[in-house]
Amino acid sequence: MKYFSFAFLVLLFIAVESKTLLDIEIETTKELIELYQRKADLISKMNTTEGVSTNKVEEAISKQERFLTKKRVNMTEMIGFEDPFKESPHYVSSVSDNQKEYEKHRDRLESLFHERILFDENGRNITQHQIMNIKPLTRSSSGGYMVQGVLLGLDNIDIHVYDVYKNLLVNMSMAEYGGIKLLKGSNHNEDMYIVAISPDNHLCEFNIELINTFNKRKEEQNTRNPKGILHPINETKSKETGREDLFNKNYKRMLSLYKYYVENSKCVNLNEFMNTTNVNYNHIEFYMNRGIKYYILGDDQGYVNIIEKGLENRYRIYSGEDEIIQIVKHSLTLMIVNKHDIRFIKFFKREISSIRCHSGISELKSIVVDTNHNGFVYGISADGDILMFKTEKLVNNNVDNIKCNLQGKLKVNLPKDGGKEISLSSLTNYLIALKSDGNLEIFDMTNINDFFANPISYSIKLPFTTYSEILPSTPALRSIKSFNGNLFLVNFLTPTNSKLALYECLTPVKRETNEGELFNFKFPIFFIAFAVVLVFQFANRKEGEDNDIISILLGCCGMRKRGKIFRNKKEKEMHELEKLVTQFTKRNTDAMDKIGGDKLGG
């Protein structure tokens, strides 16, 4: 046993100190990329020099290239996931073995998507849009709190906030600072705020409150129904009796009694506040740490700019890259996206972790975090692929313990010229990608293991039936956005302006269950532990002690049997009375004996 433990420790030390197969694969890929660069530089240089033969140079480089390519492919096969740099095959195919079953499932998916609202804003251009959290006013018709709203930026000047029933809750303007370049709404239910950045780098913070205006409108209420619900004077009784209609009626009544308003706003010049010049901010994200909220800004100089809510404290972290494309909140930490990797921010130490999610030779345009399965991140590449990354959970707030691996890629028909037109979003149970032809590519993520075993994608066309009279026959879809749920926004262009449609995916929330969750381990573990303690108590009974089952059970619970076990309260009271009488009789007997002894002694 001693030698076995020693051998195990030696093997563990070797495993920790040695490089992983993934590290070797990444290093080999880097060498191959450098080789390609050297080859191109040498050939371009020699082509401009007369009389110099490039045969020997090309032969040596080709030999090294074949060696590195073979080594990388072997490493990929040993690691056990799809080579992310091969042209084919890819994970996903749009053709299933069972074509009838494939079409049936596609039709079912298409029936789940329903249009709710069209935001046309009276012909104004919708330049920014987002689903944000709002302070809940009431419960929805399904029973949950209404915590989602729609944030719109109009003509890069005005800001409107709607609920999911197209009721305008609050509006504000950035005209004083020249318009809107970046816009972000809060993702906290208890605190509602909006941050906007202007083209001249002014950051404005709008804090929104919800107040009760019932007392101010009390004089407008003069009737009361038998159930005690107040009604306005000019309110008419609705003939609609459906659950959704009843909810809309009650919700509009609540809106007449409550009001969202901008409590205060504060603006700063980021050039002076951050002590920077010629900085272009291209992304904004919110983050909360130890109860304090922060605004995280990415810029084109490779810095992560962190500003505390309230616009008091701030600091900057250099990422080591030329430009930060995107900043995304992931679990309890933040991720920054560069062209070829994803890195993590060590928020406590104010530095960037050395842990990277490498995309290889694929150039990243943006990433999306899976809202269904923890640890999965999807990146959109410039060549039209969706890269799949798997990250482990954050342990003890130590970012350096995170491991990130590239699992493979999903091949879809996305545009290859630039990332502006590529749009990806994660809904409950589904990953949806907006394609260049205006259709949606859907990946069913209800069970992630089944998806990896048989990764099939489904192409559907969004319905535009409700608003077909005011829309072109084939609207040019531009982007799609969602936020923690089944609602998503689709931005599309018309001949005159841009519009926005709110869609809902009517899919039930399903939860994956492991095989271990189907069996309750608590009872057998408790039973085994109790049996062990019972045997121990029985084996350690002292001589002369009670060995009945009640005494042993009391011993298992840390107690001992004292006196008699009573069946009811009266028996216990009689026993206490008998004890008192016995003590009184004994005391009198002792006293009489003492008196008699004194007399005899006298």
Q: Are 198 and 179 in contact (CB under 8 A)?
A: yes
| Cα 337 from Cα 344, distance rounded (Å) | 9
Give the model's pLDDT for residue 555: 58
Q: Which residues of 305-325 are buried (b: 16+ CB within 10 A; e: fewer)?
A: bbbebebeebebbebebebbb
Place of tokens 């970012």: 399
Q: Which of the residue ranges 289-303, 404-418, 546-560 has the most confident prediction, judged by mean pLDDT?
A: 289-303
Look up residue 510 and give its two tokens: 């399903």
Structure-model confidence comparison of residues 155 and 22, the more confident one: 155
Average pLDDT score over residue span 403-418? 68
Q: Which of the residue ranges 40-54, 386-400, 423-437, 483-497 has the most confident prediction, judged by mean pLDDT?
A: 423-437
Q: In what order do the strands lie in the sheet with 292-299?
A: 281-289, 292-299, 303-308, 314-318
Give the model's pLDDT for residue 183: 92
Average pLDDT score over residue span 20-43? 54
Place of tokens 């990896």: 452
Residue 359: which of 329, 334, 333, 383 has the closest Cα? 383
Place of tokens 């995916």: 505
Largest CA distance in the chain: 146
Coil/strand/helix, residue 333: strand
| Cα 196 from Cα 153, distance rounded (Å) | 10
pLDDT over 70 percentage in the chain? 56
Average pLDDT score over residue span 167-177? 88
Q: Which of the residue ranges 96-105, 301-310, 337-346, 407-416 has the most confident prediction, judged by mean pLDDT?
A: 301-310
Coil/strand/helix, residue 67: helix
Give the model's pLDDT for residue 92: 46
Q: Are 184 and 285 in contact (CB under 8 A)?
A: yes
Confidence of residue 191 (pLDDT cuts 50, 70, 90): confident
Beta bridge mates, 206: 194, 265
DSSP string, 377-418: EEEEETTSEEEEEEEPPPBTTBGGG--EEEEEEEE-----S-
CA distances from 530 to 163, 535, 555 (A): 56, 9, 11
What is the chain's length? 602
DSSP string, 276-325: -SS--EEEEEEEEETTEEEEEEEETTSEEEEEETTT--EEEEE-SSS---
Which residues, including other chains, have CB under 8 Å from residue 498's CB and lie 6 or more apart? 125, 126, 127, 478, 491, 492
Confidence of residue 60 (pLDDT cuts 50, 70, 90): low
Q: For residue 196, is pLDDT > 90?
A: yes
Q: For residue 283, is pLDDT > 60?
A: yes
Which residues, including other chains, have CB under 8 Å from residue 175's CB and lie 6 or more apart? 157, 158
Structure-model confidence comparison of residues 155 and 596, the more confident one: 155
Give the model's pLDDT for residue 194: 92
Q: Are 346 and 368 in contact (CB under 8 A)?
A: no
Q: For residue 319, is pLDDT > 90?
A: no
> Domain-by-domain residue ranges, the chain?
2-79, 89-119+350-511, 122-324, 522-566
Look up residue 432 and give its two tokens: 């949806």
Give the model's pLDDT for residue 138: 62
Measured between alpha carbons, how far apart are the two ends of the chain, in Å? Answer: 83
State the chain's mean pLDDT as an integer. Answer: 69
Confidence of residue 230 (pLDDT cuts 50, 70, 90): very low
pLDDT, tens digit (0-9, with 9 covering 90-100), for 567-581? 556 666 677 767 776
Q: Are strands 326-330 and 333-337 parallel, antiparallel or unpaired?
A: antiparallel
Confidence of residue 160 (pLDDT cuts 50, 70, 90): very high
Lowest mean pLDDT among 370-379, 402-411, 509-518: 509-518
Q: For residue 303, is pLDDT > 70?
A: yes
Structure-model confidence comparison of residues 478 and 558, the more confident one: 478
Average pLDDT score over residue span 560-565? 50
Q: Are 478 and 126 in contact (CB under 8 A)?
A: no
Structure-model confidence comparison of residues 38 and 80, the more confident one: 38
